[in-house]
Amino acid sequence: MSIQDLIRRIHVDEDESAFNELYKQYIYKLYQFACSFVEDGEAAEEIVNDVLIKLWTGRKNLGEIRNTQVYLYTSIKNTCLNHLRSVSSKKNNEQKLIDAYYFHLSVDPSQLLISKELSNHVLKAVNELPDRCKLIFKMVKEDDLSCNEVASILGLSNKTVFAQLAIALKKLDFALNNS
């Protein structure tokens, strides 16, 4: 079922099973995204659950949200940033924000078909990308967000996201062809 159908059922019918389905579809992706900011699994889990609970409790206003996926990612980002500000000094906070762009490849069944050597080359190439490129590459290629959605979530221009994704793809292509 599409996210729009689930949101409509949550908003109009106050359907708890639709909310549970939405939760199942997005919990892992949102958790990974939150972890890239807070680097603390428990805090990330709490942040994601808080955002999803707010979605449920504010279900009467869901009709005002144009793109639920962007809304969820933006809410997670903002809640993570608020969390970082509340638990860290300014110096530690700046370091965590820099580290927030660290990229982690997740395992999916299609990767199991790729040889271990090629997987190692891909991982090495991705880890050598500049921080912003890594985050944008992850959001577009792993989280299936559009470039426009990524731009909205990260507060960047569309051109910046397109340029960073192009840089990432070019560097990955070069690294893989020269390994």
Q: What is the predicted pLDDT for the residue at 92?
A: 52
pLDDT digits (tens, 9 = 90+) for 43-54: 999 999 999 999
Tokens of 10: 């949550």
Give me the mean pLDDT over the 8-27 stretch: 90
Looking at every residue in the chain, the average pLDDT score rounds to: 80
Give me the mean pLDDT over the 108-136 stretch: 72
Burial of 135 (0-12, 13-18, 19+ CB in 10 A): buried
Q: What's the CA gap between 3 and 142, in Å, rounded?
A: 18
Give me the mean pLDDT over the 141-165 stretch: 87
Give me the mean pLDDT over the 2-26 stretch: 89
Q: What is the predicted pLDDT for the residue at 73?
A: 92
- Of residues 78 and 66, the one with the higher pLDDT is 78
